[in-house]
Every structure is written in structure tokens, then in C-alpha cells.
Amino acid sequence: MDRLIALPHSLNMLQRVADLITTPPLTDLMENGMQVSDVIKSPSALALKLTSEHELDLEVVEAFLDSRINISRVLSLAGVRGPKEVVCSPEYLAEFLVTNNSHLVPDISRAFCHLPLSQAANVTAIFLSSLDPQKLIQKVCKGRIWVDMWIWIEKG
């Protein structure tokens, strides 16, 4: 009997989730991805660090920064493949990174895959420290979606 009483509340919550995930900003993000450089504090500073400190090819770094992360693909394969397996396979990497220069995906894969473990950890740390959380949140939650999410959380 308790389940029947809770059913309208559960259906209402499911409807709010459906409304939330079908908002234009979120569907645009899922369909078109997110450009890597859009969520970096200073793409030029990151490029300089990666090319000077880690001797990565500038063309490869620029192709990476100009690429778009295929969010729907990342979410669909979360936990299925490890990061190294994705990065070290140009075919898998091309599913996650959409570039204007698709011929550079094997170069991006090779450059990041062949880094020694300690250097790969350092490059990862540099990349993560270059992320701009505010830009990321704004990109994900642009427009009214942030307000909608907050209202949804508050209503519980």
C-alpha cells in the first residue's frame, strides 16, 4: 500500500528528471560535445607547458585543445574501457575526441600513449590543474538549466 501512495511522487520525480535532461543546453552538450580549450584556464599556457616541459609536438597539442569531447560517448563507455586503452587506440580515442583534423588523432594517441608513466602522471596533473571549474560548470549549466537543477534538488 505504501508503494501505491509513493507512486505519484516517484512519477513526478521521474518527470522532473526527464524535463531536466531534455533542456536545450544539456541536449546540445550531449550532441555536440565540449571543446577542450573551452574549459581550460589558459589554453596557450597549457600548450606552452606541454610543448616545452614535455616536448610534445605543438601541432598535436593544438589539435587536442581544439578537439571536442564527445560527452555522450564518454558516458556510454564509462567503466567499460580504461583510460590507457582509450588513449593508446586511435580508433577508441577518435570516438571520444572529435577533431577538425581527424588525421591527427593517431598522432595525439601516439604522443600521449608513449609517455613514460611518471611523465604521463605529470601531464595529467598539469592538465587537471589547467581545468577551470567555473568554465566547466558554466558550460554544463549554461542558461536556465542551473536554476532548474537547483530547484529540482531543493524539491527533492
Tell me the pLDDT tens digit for each residue of 95-152: 888 888 888 999 999 999 988 888 888 888 888 889 888 887 777 666 455 555 555 5
Residue 88 vs residues 37, 84, 107, 124, 142: alpha-carbon distances, Å = 22, 6, 10, 15, 33
CB 35 within 8 A of CB 68: yes
Residue 153 has pLDDT above 60, yes or no: no
What is the percent of the chain where pLDDT is above 90? 24
State how far the Cα of 75 lies from the Cα of 123, in Å rounded to an integer: 23
Q: Which of 64, 57, 50 is nearest to 122 (CA)?
A: 50
Contact at 8 Å (CB) between 31 and 72?
Answer: yes
Q: Which residues contact 27 (CB under 8 A, 6 or more apart)?
A: 21
The 3-state DSSP class for residue 136 equals helix
Cα 139 from chain centroid (whole Å): 11
Query: pLDDT of 61-108, one tens digit each?
Result: 999 999 998 877 776 766 666 778 888 899 988 888 888 888 899 999
Statement: residue 156 has pLDDT above 70: no
The rounded radius of gyration (Å) of the Cα atoms in the chain is 19
